Amino acid sequence: MNPLKRLGRRRASVLSLLAVAALVTPGAATAAPDGVRASTLGAQAAQSGRYFGTAVAAGRLGDGTYTGILDREFNSVTPENEMKWDTIERSRGSFNFGPGDQIANRAAARGQRLRGHTLVWHQQLPGWVSSIRDANTLRSVMNNHITQVMNHYKGKVHAWDVVNEAFADGGSGQMRSSVFRDVLGTGFIEQAFRTARSADPSAKLCYNDYNIENWSDAKTQGVYRMVRDFKARGVPIDCVGLQSHFGAGGPPAGFQTTLSNFAALGVDVQITELDIAQAPAAAYANTVRACMNVARCTGITVWGIRDSDSWRSGENPLLFDRNGNKKPAYQSTLSALGGSAAAQRTAAPSPRSAAALPSSFRWSSSGALIAPKPDSTHNIAGIKDPSVVHYNGKYHVFASTASSAGYNLVYLSFSDWSQAGSATHHYLDRTAIGAGYRAAPQVFYNTQQRLWYLVYQTGNASYSTNPDISNPNGWSAPRNFYSSMPDIIRQNIGNGYWVDMWVICDSANCYLFSSDDNGHLYRSQTTVGQFPNGFTNTVIAAQDSKFAMFEASNVYKVQGSNQYLLLVEAIGSDGRRYFRSWTASSLAGSWSPLAASESNPFAKSSNVTFPAGTWTRDISHGEMIRAGYDQTLTIPACQLQYLYQGKDPNAGGDYNNLPWRLGLLTQTNSTC
Ligand code: 9MR
């Protein structure tokens, strides 16, 4: 992060951004391990960590053809009717778990997972409930039903449809009229979810509905607003079930967008009741592919096994015909899951078994989650350059505070992103870190020394240590890594600035990377034993034209692979910030382009969607959400998240006074 004014330069025309020749040795993509294709739906879905389930009717469990397919193909089941209110609590306080148990016990005996369907629904609701007019009575009846049923199935049901079909069809985007809404008000859904969380804290809590698959539909938007509001206020919700009862055309064009937009709110999505009129093979494949393309789409359930088992049997909407034979849609579904009917062993990579990163990325962004909190002595315009670890159940975020008076550091922690905006900001100029120019922090835990390190720029590369990351007052006074700027930097920096120091260690060495706002990435090294002393042998690790390799470099170890990932912030031809990426097989190695161009960026406004509204065109200085928190800076290979700085696209003026805010990118094209 450049401490001084850079206004004007960002508008300069940027030449030959795509010229990366100086930087790389070409080729060298990491080979994915061989995958094994499975021959059944459940086994193939399991290879990507997903389930493939079906609705099951207790009344059909005596049919050998039915159970034969059920046990061969499916690894999750949903009772089609047996856990609904009119079966379980037909009269007040008298619970009949028999049919539900039959399905639950059978599934448990075969290692099949169980979805619970459904606790609060206006249909299949006994008359004694729908005729209640007193709110206190209905509230206690609803809470009691949820509690009793969830208690009974505790440990057996992995996800519950807590509330089913509460939104109205048509253009209102509002909740439908039902005894629950009419007597309890629209808050009944929140009440149901809170009760459900207390009843079984380890079950995933889903909202389930139909006709919410098309992103632009008012009903979809209504449910989206509710989930966003729940996440923002900390109302417990873990998943959204999209029933997906489709016509012969299959899913709407924007189906995957809907899945990823919900997922970006921080919930899982599941396709819960899939059936498609006439079961066209392509329509099934499109549906499955949309789920496979969204990391948080955790499973698919078809609503029945054979066409003759379907609630819409006249439309033959399922994967097996009346005789239990596989239909063409079965084959297309299996291939879309990544499998093949022949169960051949193949050298083709299985999408989920590869630990390597993809070569292009797509993201969905949150809104601005963290804004500055000026106080009487901190007149702050922007919060910038975040560093983040997840440790001890909390996110710990360190960031620069920027104002016309200069830069310093701030610390905040919170347990959930929905709480990020309300976290207390601890200004670190009040600690031994002290006032004056400190910026662009990077935090990690040194496991040998059992100390947290905060690395930051002060004009030199500096650090403080702290035995307890959660204690802002525990940081030591700044110390420098170098006695002075290394010669090679002095010789190459031109009229740039020495910024954005970054430490990462492997088992032998620690490396200190830094940038110069002038096209160079520098690297020094020391041994793990000597760290934090002894940084020497400074070299140019990568170089390009000034704006193509500007600043804010991150280097990570990719979990489960031999890959390291380099991100560097560039300034695009539109004057906006974005990230380029490279990989290498060692920290001292040469970097090969991964998504390294303006047209195939790692993260840029062009590959980020903003379901909550486009609040920035800059994707600027930030950090990946790591898999751990130690000096190896290990990130997951899948489902990446990146905390970044963005700002109002219309803001201008003094760079130090720009209104930077922090937002979170979530990868939407993870294949694992
Ligand atoms: O498939 C179920 C059918 O056997 C029942 O008669 C019907 C009663 O309303 O419910 C069917 O399942 C529904 C599910 O519970 C919720 N979403 C719509 C499904 C199809 O109607």
* pLDDT tens sequence across 72-101: 999 999 999 999 999 999 999 999 999 999
Residue 341 pLDDT more than 60? Answer: no
Catalytic hit among 80, 89, 273, 623: 273
Structure tokens at 577: 């910030």
pLDDT on residue 545: 95
Mean pLDDT of all residues in 495-522? 97
- Cα distances (angstroms) measured from residue 24 to each of 20, 27, 148, 594: 7, 9, 62, 11
In the predicted model, is pLDDT for residue 659 greater than 50? yes
- Measured distance CA(394)–CA(309) in Å, rounded: 47
List 89, 165, 598, 623, catalytic entry: 165
Residue to mutate (ligand 1; options 54, 77, 78, 81; most atoms within 8 A of CB): 81
Cis omega (within 30 of 0) on the bond before 532? yes
Confidence of residue 338 (pLDDT cuts 50, 70, 90): confident
**Summary mean pLDDT of the chain:** 91
Q: Give, as one character, the DSSP assignment of residue 327.
A: P
Residues 470-478 have a mean pLDDT of 97
pLDDT the model gives residue 355: 53
pLDDT, one tens digit per residue, over 406-428 is 999 999 999 888 889 999 999 99
Give the per-residue pLDDT at 278.
96
Find the mean pLDDT for residues 187-207. 96
Integer-rounded Cα radius of gyration of the chain: 27
Q: What is the pLDDT of residue 339?
A: 64
Q: Which of 21-25, 321-325, 617-621 has the lowest mean pLDDT?
A: 21-25
Q: What pLDDT digit, counting tens, does each position of 525-537 carry?
A: 999 999 999 999 9
Say how many C-beta atoms besides its own lie within 10 A of residue 438's C-beta.
25
Report residue 552's pLDDT band, with 50, 70 and 90 as the boundaries: very high
Residue 36: pLDDT band with limits 50, 70, 90:
low
- Residue 43 has a pLDDT of 87
pLDDT at site 1: 61
| pLDDT confidence bin for 350, thresholds 50/70/90 | very low
**Confidence band, pLDDT 50/70/90 cuts, at residue 623:** very high
Stretch 295-306: mean pLDDT: 96
Q: Which residue is associated with the tokens 């006695």?
A: 483
Which residue's entry shows tokens 């990544």?
338
Ligand 1 shell residues, CB under 6 Å: 80-81, 123-124, 164, 210, 243, 273, 311
Q: What letter would DSSP give residue 78?
A: E
Average pLDDT estimate for 359-378: 93
Q: How far is the CA of 80 from the centre of ligand 1 (A)?
A: 7
Assess whether 315 carries a catalytic annotation.
no
pLDDT on residue 331:
95
- Overall pTM > 0.75: no
Q: What is the mean pLDDT of residues 642-669?
A: 94
Residue 127 alpha carbon to ligand 1 centre in Å: 18
Number of the ligand 1 atom closest to the C-alpha atom of 55: 1
Instruction: Give the distance (Å) from ligand 1 centre to CA of residue 311.
Output: 7
Concerning whether 273 is annotated as a catalytic residue, the answer is yes
> What does the H/E/C string look like for 127-194?
HHHHCCCCHHHHHHHHHHHHHHHHHHCCCCCCEEEEEECCECCCCCCCECCCHHHHHHCCCHHHHHHH
